[in-house]
Amino acid sequence: MAVAAVLLAGCGGGGKESADKKASPKPALTVATTVPQQSQLPVTLAANGSLMAWQEASVGAEVSGLRVAEVRVNVGDSVRKGDVLATLASATVQAEVAQARASVAEAEASAFEANANADRARRLQGTGALSSMESQQMLTGEKTAQARVLAAKAALQAQEVRLSQTSVIAPDDGIISARTATVGAVVGAGTELFRLIRQGRLEWRAEVTSAELGRLVAGTVARITAASGAKLEGRVRTVAPTVDPQNRTALVYVDVKLPPGAWGSARAGMFARGEFDLGSAGALTVPLAAIVVREGFNYVFRVGTDNRVSQVKVQVGRVSGDRAELTAGLPADARIVANGAGFLNDGDLVRIAEKN
């Protein structure tokens, strides 16, 4: 009987230990905790737009009826101000210049004779050797001959200008963006032969809603990403004075600074998105690792006094580096799980890691 009592006593003790173990659940995870902090985060304004040429110059023929003799540049070539882009056949114009020079020489010869006659008339005035009419005719002939010399020189100058216009010159530094000049084609005055992106400069034309327009001023820094992935920087040059009545947006013109070698990956007409730097502002932030995205919503896990976590929906604002702004959903003094939150469920028991 004594042995049976001992056995029964032993069995009763083991059951109590099992119950104690069952009553003490194990923590699901060992985690570090943190509380929200006040931080300064950058304030930005996102926008979409297009990269465009700052200014395009239309380079055309200034003379009419001449044939294109040579084309020296092609699309994509960089040119300097004064470079010859194309030449027109100049034989006809050179002949006209030679003819104008001959006319000047003839007029000067006539003027020399007229000057001599006028000098003789002035010497003989009052002697009776010449009548007053003859004297007046000689003096008038001198002035007429001088006027003919001036007219002949002006005609020569016009022909020399026309000869210089047989060379199509770049009006500024830049990059050739279009070419219609074809060797052998006879062009008319004003016919466009080339288009030139002046100074190779691009601008970002960002579309901004009328509600956000007042936040931008000249000089605001913009960081731009082209469709090719090229990273660019720029500054607001000006804001359009009008808003499109159809979509209520306005254009913001941003001068883009192209780093060396970026021209190939950033071209006029390319889509680009970017952000305007509007300074910084205070925000309640938590580590980005503390935020869990589930079913399209953002959550953090708040740690209670009993070390059990509760899933709390929050609203996330700005993100900078490894911290994110919380705009709603969490008190400023709440203790939350700092990392590993993605492995937890609502109501889990956690062990708090000791700080070193």
Q: What are the pLDDT digits (tens) for 267-287?
A: 888 999 999 998 888 888 988
Closest Cα partner for 319 from 33, 32, 48, 46?
46
Q: pLDDT tens across 302-332, in order?
A: 998 888 989 999 999 888 888 888 888 888 8
Looking at residue 39, which CATH number applies to its domain?
2.40.420.20
**In a shared domain, residues 193 and 320:** no
- Surface-to-core class of residue 258, CB atoms within 10 Å of its CB (0-12 exposed, 13-18 middle, 19+ buried): middle
Identify the pLDDT of residue 263: 62
Domain extent, residue 300, equals 26-43+282-352
What does the angle CA 94 – CA 97 – CA 99 come to, to the nearest 5 degrees?
A: 115
With H, G, I as helix, E, B as strand and everything else as coil, classify residue 345: coil
Asked if residue 287 and residue 348 are part of one domain, the reply reads yes
Q: Residue 13 domain-assigned? A: no
Same domain assignment for residues 191 and 67:
yes
Which residue among 222, 254, 278 closes a domain?
A: 278
CATH code of the domain in which 149 resides: 1.10.287.470
Do 71 and 183 reside in the same domain of the chain? Answer: yes
Tell me the one-letter amino acid at 323: R
Domain assignment of residue 342, yes or no: yes
pLDDT at residue 7, as a whole number: 35
Q: Pairing relation of β-strands 174-179 and 192-198?
A: antiparallel
C-alpha 338, offset from chain centre:
41
Q: Give me the amino acid identity at 40.
A: Q
**How many structural domains does the chain have?**
4
Q: Which two tokens stand for residue 62?
A: 């200034």
- Same domain? For 99 and 188 the reply is no
- CB atoms closer than 10 angstroms to residue 233: 16
For residues 141 and 102, state if they share a domain: yes
Residue 7 included in any domain = no
- 208 and 274 together in one domain: yes
Q: Which of 147, 181, 200 is the last residue of a domain?
A: 200
Q: What is the mean pLDDT of each run of 10 residues along the chain (356 residues)?
A: 38 48 71 87 90 92 92 92 94 92 92 85 73 79 90 93 92 92 92 92 93 90 91 93 91 87 77 91 88 91 90 88 86 88 88 73
Contact call for residues 255 and 234 (beta carbons, < 8 A): yes
Assign residue 274 the CATH number of its domain.
Answer: 2.40.30.170
Q: Is the dihedral of CA 291, 293, 299, 304 positive or negative?
A: negative
